[in-house]
Structure formats: C-alpha cells, structure tokens
Chains A and B, each alone.
Chain A
Amino acid sequence: MKRFNTYILIILLVISGKTFAQQTPADKQSEPVTIVGATAHLGNGEVIENSLIIFEDGVITEVIAANLTKRQNPGKIINAKGKHVYPGFIAPNSTLGLVEIAAVKATEDDDEMGEMLPNVRSLIAYNAESKIVESMRPNGVLLGQIVPRGGLISGTSSIVQFDAWNWEDAVVKENDGLHINWPDAFRRGRWWRDEEPGLKANKEYQENIQKLSDFFTSSKAYLAGERDYKNLPYLAMDSVFNGNKKVFVHVNGEKEIMDVIQFKKDHALKGLVIVGGYDALGVAKELKSNDIPVLVNRPHSTPNKAYEDYDYPYKLAKLLQDAGVLVALESSGQMERMNTRNLPFYAGTVAAFGMDKEEALKLITSNTAKILGIDDKYGSLEKGKSATLFISEGDALDMRTNILSHAFIDGREVSLETHQTELWKRYSKKYKDQESK
C-alpha cells in the first residue's frame, strides 16, 4: 500500500510539476546541472551508490561517489536520493520516424524499390515529430539508429537523438552504416508462383550472394577509376571501403553467417556487424576470432523450432557474450516501432535468464554505442561524454520501476510528455470531474 501511495504521489508530481509543452524540443543547456545521491548505473558494468553527477554545456564533467569529493555542487541541483541514473538507452536497427502507422501505406517510408540502394538514406525521411518517437523518451530510450529496409542492399542508416525539431537537428552520426539483407539459404514457397508452402532450399541463394559480391567488386572498380559519369549507388560505397561506414548484415542462419564471414574476408571489409543472429551461437567462435559483433534480435520472441529451449531467445545474448562475442540488443520485428520503448525490458529479460544486471544494461548502452561507433560520446556515464541520461524512480530494466522524472539529451532537459500522456490526463480528468459532481 505504501508503494501504491508513492506512485500516486509521483503521478501527481508528474501531472502538476511539468511545464514542458508536448513535442517541443528542449533548449540548449544553459546552466550546470548536478544530480546528487542517486545510484548511478554507468552502463559500462560499474555502479556508484550515492553518486554525484555534474554536467555542463551538454557534457558530463563529474561522475563520482558523493563522499569522495568536497566539490561545490554547481548550477541546478537535483536531489535524487533513492533514485537511479542511467545513460540514455540506444535502439539500433530501428525504423522509428520512417513509418507512423504500419497499416497506412501513405505513412510508410522505410522500404524503397530496388535491390542495390546504398545511396538511399534514411536520415532525410526521418520524421523527428513522430508520435511514436516521442513515446520512447518516457522509457529512457533516447537515441536510435534509423535503418531502411528491403532489397539486398537496403540503404544507409543514420543515428539520431529523440528530441529534435527536424532530422538535421536530430542527427548524431550521419550515414553511419550500410545495410545488407543477406539472402536466406531457405525460402518460403511463393503461392503466386504456385509453389508449395513451407521452407525449402533457396535455389537462388548462391546467385544472390554472387550479385552482392559483384556489386562490391564493380563499385570498387568504379571508385578506383575516372568516375567520369555519376553512379550514385557506387559512389555511396566509397565510405564503406574507406572505413567510414560500417556494414550491417541482417542475417540469422549458421551457414549464412559463415558465408558472411567469408564475404567480409573476400572484400576486406572493416567494421562488419551481424544483425539478428538467431543461429549465431553455432558459429560464435568464428565471430569472435573475426571480431564481428552481433546485434541480437529482441528477446521477446518465440523460438523458431519446436525442439529449442523455450527460453532460447531470452538467453541468446548471454550465451553469445559468454562465448566472447560483443553483443547488444535490437528490436526489429512485429510492431517494431512502438515496441522499441520496451528495449529496457528486453535487457531485463536477458538478466532474468542468467546475465548479470549491469552486464544486461550494457546490451542497450555501452555495447550498442561501441557497435555503432558512437562510444566516444554516448553509451556510458563518464567524464567527457555527452550528458545523455535519465533519472528513474527505480530499476529501469523492470516495468514496475521504470518511471522517469528527468531525462537529458546532450544536457538538454527533454519533455517526458507525449500524445499518450496528454490523452491519459484528459480522460482521467473527465472521470474525476464526473465523480466530484
């Protein structure tokens, strides 16, 4: 009951205390902020109880145990005793802002026509004012990699933060990655070609890999040549070969992953990442020795095969990590956009099935930042990094206690209001007014 009252109190505070208008991005940090007394989960595996966190001009200037410093607390002071501070969670391989309502075609901008589209860029279609994007913030999901879908080469992703007027303001890392949909060795029967349903060997598998390989070879040849005509897809490959764009290969099968590793060698690719990786466990040794990290698909899914352990998706990230592979979590799949706010609970589920809690936290913070190549600024609470963090009433990996009071992106205090909280308040008031009449 005591707990219930606390929640009521929190809600009342949330209702009455916030003055931010919905969806209006926050201004630049104007004064230092000091968060005192919270349990700080640094995102790199460490925890500081009773911490002191200071940030100025968007950058963290101090993260330390409060009893170890006599420093004056500058600027605005937030007393966060009993609360928890986390680095902003990062959602890789997301289509947030590219699609608003999945069933309404006019709102879909995630899948361009064509097979080889490295030049197609997610960033310019990213809707910074999406109602789904704003619903990420109250759960602590503050950054995302926005990824196009479809084709063999889907296009180029960019990394954004979730509180911006437009895509230009939102961008954290422009054109960070090339996305390849690796062909499946098995394919479902296509009814429109009168094929039997069910999965069968894909006769075009090798052919499609060859297509990809040819494309890489041709673009390299083109880029090494005169470039006397403009080939947009080839030109977009330049940053892949010079190492400025990582290659994200969306692939699940064991055999397919082995073929991806061979492909990486054949084309001397740096910075290759496996996305999905359902069967990656069988080839974990090879992934480790080739320095290939895995963005594991969301744990909230069911095993593909009847004989697999019921908790296989829950523990896959842990098993891969135990095998020495660098892993983080991604949330693509059914209803992926709105479900991305459940990212913290995906990590919580991995912890429930065996991973240490602070290690599980890394799956949505520092590991993700490393894999995406933004760990110089994001993914952990450390001096010199961006003040992209939030304060939660309790354990942010648990639904019951993931209740945010403050969130900051690059030091800017962002609104935790959404279209949904607005409706909540409006209708709660309606019934309260009815009662008092």
Chain B
Amino acid sequence: MPVTYPNIAYGFKDKPKQENILFKNATVWTSEEEGVLENTDVLVKNGEISRIGQDLNAGGAQVVDATGKHLTAGIIDEHSHLAASDINEAGHNSSAEVNMEDVVDPTDIGIYRDLAGGVTTIQLLHGSANPIGGRSAILKLKWGESAEDLIFEQAPPFIKFALGENVKQSNWSGNRFPQTRMGVEQVFVDYFSQARAYETEKNKGGEDFRKDLEMETLVEILNGERFVTSHSYIQSEINMLMKVAEQFDFNINTFTHILEGYKVADKMKEHGVGASTFSDWWAYKYEVNDAIPYNASIMNDVGITVAINSDDGEMSRRLNQEAAKSVKYGGMSEEDAWKMVTINPAKLLHVDDLVGSIKTGKQADLVLWNNHPLSIYAKPEKTMIEGVVYFDIERDEQMRKQIREERNQLIGQMLKAKNNGVKTQPVTKKEKQHVHCDLLEEVQ
C-alpha cells in the first residue's frame, strides 16, 4: 500500500504541482468593479493570475476549455473549525495566549470536501467559550501539505472574542465569571486596563518586568497589530464591544455571526467594523430568536463589508448556496452576493490584495464551476490554490475507484490472515465529529 499525502482517503500519491493553465472562454466572476465577464480567458502562470482578456495566447500553458463554465475566485470562509485538533481553551475567561496555529490538523477530510465545494481559504477560529478566546490560524486549504504549510503566511494576526450565551455559560453549567452580559463588558475593560499597565511596565524595562504571552497579545490588539473578530449575536452586546474598543482607542475588525447586526448596522458602519454572518440560521438558542435571513442584505445596503460564514464543516462546502440566499432574502444583486464569499471575507481578513478576486497579479486561487456559481445546480470541477489544482472532479472519480480497490485488497488480506489463524479483534467504527464553536471537549 502506498503512503499518500495526507495518509488517508483521497490523499495524493504524488503531491500535485503548480501548473500554468489557460482557462479559455469562461464566464468570469471577477468580484471586482469589472463584474462578470463573458467569453473571457484567464491565464494562470507561476501561481498567479497573469492575464485576463480575450483570445489570450497560451504560451505553453495547459489549455482548459471553459466554454459554458464559470470561473470565480476561491471561496473564503471567515469562520471555520475545520482542520483543528482542539477548539476551546475554556477554563479561563481569557485565553489570549493560545494559538490555533498550534493545533492545525492537515489530515482532516473536511479540507478535501471543502475544496470540492470551492473553498480555498479559511480562518480557523478558537471557540466561543470565553470572552477573550485564542489567536486564529488563517489557512490555505493545501490538501496534502503539512500543518505549517497550510498557514497563510502573509495574512495578519487575528484573535477570536466572544459574547453572549456561550461566554456566560447559559446552555451548560459553569461557575466562572462572567455569567451575564454585564460581566462580559467588565472582563474586557479589566483585561485591556491590565494590558495598558503591562505595556507601561514593559516600556520602562525594569528588572522586575516579566514577559506574559497573554498580555503581549492584548497589547498587540491595543496597538492595532492584531485584529479582533468577535462572535456576537444581539444588538446590546455588539454595541457594548464597540464602545469598549473605542474607550481603548482601537477598532473591532469583524463581528462574526452577528445575527442582530441589522439592528445596529448604522452604529457598526460608524465604528468601521465588518460583518461575517450566517445566511439563515436562527431559533437554536434564545439569543438568535430575532435573527433574520435578511440580515446580510440590510447590512450590505447600509454599506458594511459583509461576508457569509459557515462555522460548520457541512455548510462550508456549499457557501455558494448560502450566499445565494441573500438574492432571495432581501433582493441582493448576484454580484454583491458572490462578493460575500470571496472579496468581502478577503477584506475582513486583510488579504484582499492577494486573494478574493480575479485580478492580474493576485494569487491564482480559482474555482471552475459547471454552472452559475450561485445556482443550486453548481458544482466545482477544479479548485486551485496558487496554481496548484487540489481538487479535480475527474481525478476525484479515479481516486474513488482506487479507494474501493484498496479497501477490497485490505479486506482480502485480513480475511486471509484470519483464515491463517491470526488473532482477530472486535469491529470498531470511526466517525467524524461535527465541530462548532461551543465544543468544549477534545475533538475526536
């Protein structure tokens, strides 16, 4: 049996290589001012988008006939818990010292399935068990690469904050501070006051100064060197966190989930915060009782940068459909809807100069769809990151065959061994756990 990258189903025998490809005659969703370009060629060279235009010369690149197909930028999921071996460091009301980059699991089959859904970049977030969570890992879904090589190097540092029911431990028993939204505000004020004091001490540089990773992280936030994405639902807490940030002279970068964002969209715009929301989730807990599927449309109309996120390994792989729901709910234009899963999350993650749209010079993170990308009938045929095709629907078909053959071979070997009198063991089954931000235990 060959070892594959990663060494599970759908791993590659040989890691796929960067290719120069000319997509011929595609409908190109640029996610830029140019909008949607019909009958257009896109040339990918050395991992970058090298040219966009008509009748481009392949110049040695492999030609892919994209007639009748749609080419888009890769989908970016601002809120994901895929590819992680842990989610929450929940014992404390702040865990700014922990880093999701330390728990990246590059062998999660969810990565491959996300690629099959056109996703190329995710923000792997800490959970929402405490007001100040852990630092994020922003990942490119380079299936087969090591944990380190998944990390999106040029992306700036982020941290997860959280508000509401999860941090006040409403839906499970808990006894640490805070237990109310009132307490949550005080946690933030307290920690940022400590961080300021710490920084003053640090600048003094006395002998007694002791480096503290948690405080270092908070100081980065105060100095605008680390961005905050905060899990949030209801309007009171959203407003509160903006006011706390303003009090300490920094900005909240993103409100994630933000299901009542539509109630304070004007205040959010004034603060300059972006929004990353679910398309239509609601009613699963009390704080999402007033969540509406028109949320994204309203915030978009007010002028906020809006993204649609998943927080879910199932939804993540069809975020194109989730974006399309804003066409139904609120009448958003298709171009704007598509931006909510490409350039807008790229802006929220401050990587929009590199990815999130089809523009000359950007990294070639692209998806070729068989159909209009917002249609329920759309499926990706190729998903590429930096010119490397990590998902190809034809290759997938071959891999399925190989997996079946390999399973038969293994079962055959086991039966043979059993018949030769080798000791057997009872059957066990593996299952993949669905991870959300309220998972407290170890990921299984």
Contact = CB atoms under 8 A, between A and B. Distances in A.
A199 B400 contact: no
Contacts of B432: 302, 304-306
A403 B376 contact: no
Interface in A1-33: 1, 3-4, 7-8, 10-11
A131 interface: yes
Contact of B109 (A7, A301, A306, A424): A306
Nearest to A4: B333
A198 B444 contact: yes
Contacts of A353: 379
A351 B376 contact: yes
Nearest to B322: A399
Contacts of A398: 324, 375-377
Interface string B417-430: 00000000011111
Contacts of A307: 8-10, 403, 407
Interface string B3-28: 00000111000000000000000000
B25 to A, nearest CB: 23
Interface in A194-220: 197-201
Interface in B396-444: 396, 400, 403, 407, 426-432, 434, 444
A170 B289 CA distance: 24
B97 interface: no
Contact of B263 (A186, A341, A427): A427
Interface stretch (B37-45, B66-74, B144-152, B276-284): B276-284
Count chain B CB atoms within 10 A of each CB in A306, A338, A342 and give the residue with the most: A306
A310 B393 CA distance: 11
Nearest to B263: A427
Nearest to B376: A348
A101 interface: yes
Contacts of A362: none
A318 B379 CA distance: 17
B172 to A, nearest CB: 10
Contacts of B9: 306-307
Contacts of B331: 4, 7-8, 10-11
Nearest to B429: A199
B281 A420 contact: no
Interface in A401-425: 401-403, 420-421, 423-424
B328 interface: yes
Nearest to A350: B376
Contacts of A201: 426-428
Interface in B22-65: none
Interface string A94-130: 0000001111100000000000000000000000000
A292 interface: no
A309 interface: yes
A309 B400 contact: yes
Contacts of A403: 328
Contacts of B294: 420-421, 423-424, 428
A420 B377 CA distance: 27
Interface size grouping (class) on chain B: 35 or more
Contacts of A391: none
Grouping DSSP codes into helix (H, G, I), strand (E, B) and loop, the B interface class, with mixed when no group exceeds half, is: loop
A215 B289 CA distance: 41
B321 A345 contact: yes
Interface in B237-292: 262-263, 265-266, 280-286, 289-290, 292
A352 B324 contact: no
A304 B371 CA distance: 27
A198 B171 CA distance: 24
A436 to B, nearest CB: 14
B124 interface: no
Contacts of A132: 283
A101 B284 contact: yes
Contacts of B430: 198-199, 305-306
A156 interface: no
A306 to B, nearest CB: 4
Interface string B360-378: 0000000000010011111
A365 B171 CA distance: 37
B142 interface: no
B293 interface: yes
Contacts of A51: none
Interface string A159-172: 00000000000000
A397 interface: yes
A17 to B, nearest CB: 15
A402 B328 contact: yes
Contacts of A305: 430-432
A335 B281 contact: yes
A89 B422 CA distance: 55
A192 interface: no
A403 B9 CA distance: 40
B314 A428 contact: no
Given A4-B333, A427-B263, A101 B286 contact: yes
A307 B399 CA distance: 10
B327 interface: yes
Contact of A434 (B8, B263, B266, B396): B266
A423 B292 contact: yes
A300 interface: yes
A200 B426 contact: yes
A337 interface: yes
B314 A399 contact: no
Given A198-B430, A420-B294, A342 B280 contact: yes
Contact of A337 (B265, B283, B403): B283
A154 interface: no
B231 interface: no
Given A300-B314, A302-B313, A302-B314, A423 B290 contact: yes
B328 A427 contact: no
Nearest to B289: A101
Nearest to B315: A300
Contact of A302 (B113, B170, B282): B113
Interface string A292-336: 000000001111111101110000000000000000000000110
Interface of A: 1, 3-4, 7-8, 10-11, 100-104, 131-132, 186, 197-201, 300-307, 309-311, 334-335, 337-338, 341-342, 345, 348-349, 351-353, 397-403, 420-421, 423-424, 427-428, 431, 434
Given A306-B432, A345-B376, A352-B378, 14 more contacts: A7-B331, A101-B284, A103-B170, A103-B285, A197-B444, A198-B429, A302-B113, A302-B317, A310-B116, A352-B377, A398-B375, A399-B374, A400-B324, A431-B302
22 contacts: A1-B333, A4-B334, A100-B283, A103-B170, A200-B428, A201-B428, A300-B318, A302-B314, A306-B8, A306-B432, A311-B379, A338-B280, A338-B284, A398-B375, A398-B376, A399-B328, A400-B327, A400-B374, A401-B328, A402-B328, A424-B262, A424-B329
Closest 6 CB pairs of A and B: A348-B376, A103-B285, A307-B9, A7-B331, A424-B294, A199-B429
